[in-house]
Every structure is written in structure tokens, then in C-alpha cells.
Amino acid sequence: MELLLSAATPHAGLAPSPWVLRWTAALPPGARVLDLACGHGRHLRALAARGLQPVGVDRDAAAIDALRGTPGAAGVELCVADLEAGPWPWPGRVFDAGVVTNYLWRPLWPTLLASLAPGGRLVHETFAVGNETVGKPSNPDFLLRPGELLEVARDGGLRVLGYEDGFLDHPPRFVQRIAAVREQPGGAPTRHPLG
């Protein structure tokens, strides 16, 4: 598994993703946001600063320990867990949003989607096919196939709010990203701010 948020990689110093900031902006204060593979907490701190209640999980105990003493991460719930080999740390718990960046473990998708509350958002951004031409990850197991996040949303019963698939600079990479929402029960249309 290629996790790209450790101190040994160039991704450790990245600012929060504009995609994540855009699609979590409409969440009300106090919303519970799960950040999978949170690494060094670039999104956790930004979400906490906006009055949200982020929950971060990563298998890197050193990164989680470093976060515990970081300004801006006070009060953030943190968990060390190997999401690929261990049990889901929050059985039965639901979140108002799930954030995933620079991480791909397909077997986790059903559990993540089941943990979204009605009205909950999935905000996912990671590497896509084509990235092997510009750097790591290059293993196809960790690169999204064209349209794959759209399929995940559709199969999970989510409504797509935004989707992009293409190339980004700084650093150069191919990405796919989606913002989708679990509709409220009853099927009545819900107003979802676009960003």
C-alpha cells in the first residue's frame, strides 16, 4: 500500500485540498467529519478551525502522536488503526461527512458509505490512471480507473454533487475526485449547496 502522507514524502507539507475545503464548506458547525488516512492532519486542522468535529484515523502512530500536540488539533478525535488489516474502529457510528485524499483501499468503500448519515457527504480525491506517467503511486491497485468514483457513488446510492477527472500541477499528478451525498430518507429533494 502506498500511503502518501508520511514525513518522508513530498506530500507531507501540502496545504488542505481546495476540493475538500469547497465541499465541506456547507457543513454546519459541529458536523462530524471522518478523515480516513489523515496523515499529518492537513484537513483535520482546517476542519476544526471551521467549528466542525473532525475524527482522524491513520495507521501511522507517529503521525497521530505528532498531531496530538499540534496547535489547531486540540479536541480533534484521533485513532491509530490499520483500516486494511484490522476491524472498522467505529461500528454503528455515523458521520456527517467522510473525507479521503491521497488514499485508495477499495474494500473499505462499503463500510465508509454505510457510515454516512442521511444528508452526509463523501468527499474523495485521490490518484487516477495516468499518474504512473508522472510519479508515484504507479501501481494500478492504487490508481482510480476512469469513472470509478462515479460508479462507487451510484452503487452506494449517493447523489453526485461534483466530479472531476484530470491532471493537476504542483505537484504534477492525475486525480479523480468526487463530492456526493446520501439523500434524506423518503426521497424528497434536498437542497445541497454546491460548495
CATH superfamily of 17-182: Vaccinia Virus protein VP39 (3.40.50.150)
Instruction: Give me the pLDDT at residue 11, please.
Output: 43
171 phi and psi angles, rounded to 5 deg: -80, 160
pLDDT at 1: 25
* Euclidean distance between CA atoms 41 and 163, whole angstroms: 24
- Domain residue extents for the chain: 17-182
Phi, psi (5° rounding) for residue 132? -60, -20
Block mean pLDDT (10 aa), the chain, length 195: 33 80 96 96 95 96 91 88 95 97 96 96 97 95 97 96 95 96 74 62
In this prediction, residue 108 carries a pLDDT of 96
Q: Do residues 34 and 142 make contact, with C-beta atoms less than 8 angstroms apart?
A: no
**Distance of alpha carbon 19 from alpha carbon 21, whole angstroms:** 6
Tell me how many helices (H) and strands (E) the chain has: 5, 7
pLDDT at 8: 35
